[in-house]
């Protein structure tokens, strides 16, 4: 949710961001062509994170959470304990399986990517 600290008029500029600071497919799409765009973006993020202070994106990447609290990251035991009778765990398993299949595709395109890094970025 984005909240303004003060009122502003329609059409008023509230933020400026140079195009050079946008992550765009043109920065990684050629080398990773053929992969779904969200997988390409995740791989770009992983590669830039690995570059650390050598990456122009490091200040932004360092602000990203290292761990997520989203349901897709929940342990199976947690779901078994609290979601018995729900279809949600089955749906979530399908999502995890889809992510795993995407990671397998990503591994063929980029060497040295490990599952936990891809899972974090995707």
In-domain check, residue 105: yes
How confident is the model over 33-89, as pLDDT tens digits? 788 888 988 998 999 999 999 998 999 899 998 887 888 888 888 888 888 888 988
In-domain check, residue 107: yes
In-domain check, residue 40: yes
What pLDDT sits at residue 29?
62
In-domain check, residue 45: yes
In-domain check, residue 9: no
Query: CB neighbours (10 Å) of residue 107?
Result: 15
In-domain check, residue 14: no
Q: Which domain holds residue 28?
A: 23-121
How confident is the model over 22-32, as pLDDT tens digits? 777 776 666 77
Q: Count the domains in the chain.
A: 1
Centroid of chain to Cα 13: 28
How confident is the model over 6-26, as pLDDT tens digits? 888 999 998 888 887 777 777
Measured in residues, the chain has a length of: 122
pLDDT higher than 80, residue 122: yes
Task: Label residue 67 exposed, middle or buried (CB < 10 Å: 0-12, 13-18, 19+).
Answer: exposed
Predicted structure pTM score = 0.73
In-domain check, residue 1: no
What pLDDT sits at residue 1?
64
In-domain check, residue 10: no
């Amino acid at each position: 949710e984005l909240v303004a600290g003060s009122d502003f008029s329609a059409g008023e500029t509230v933020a400026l961001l140079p195009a050079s600071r946008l992550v765009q497919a043109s920065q990684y799409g050629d080398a990773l062509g053929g992969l779904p765009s969200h997988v390409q973006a995740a791989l770009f993020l992983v590669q830039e994170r690995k570059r650390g202070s050598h990456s122009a994106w490091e200040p932004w990447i360092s602000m990203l959470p290292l761990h997520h609290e989203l349901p897709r990251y929940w342990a199976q035991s947690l779901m078994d304990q609290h979601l018995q009778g729900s279809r949600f765990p089955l749906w979530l398993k399908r999502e995890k399986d889809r992510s795993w299949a995407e990671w397998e595709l990503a591994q063929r395109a980029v060497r040295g990517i490990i599952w936990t890094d891809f899972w974090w970025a995707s």
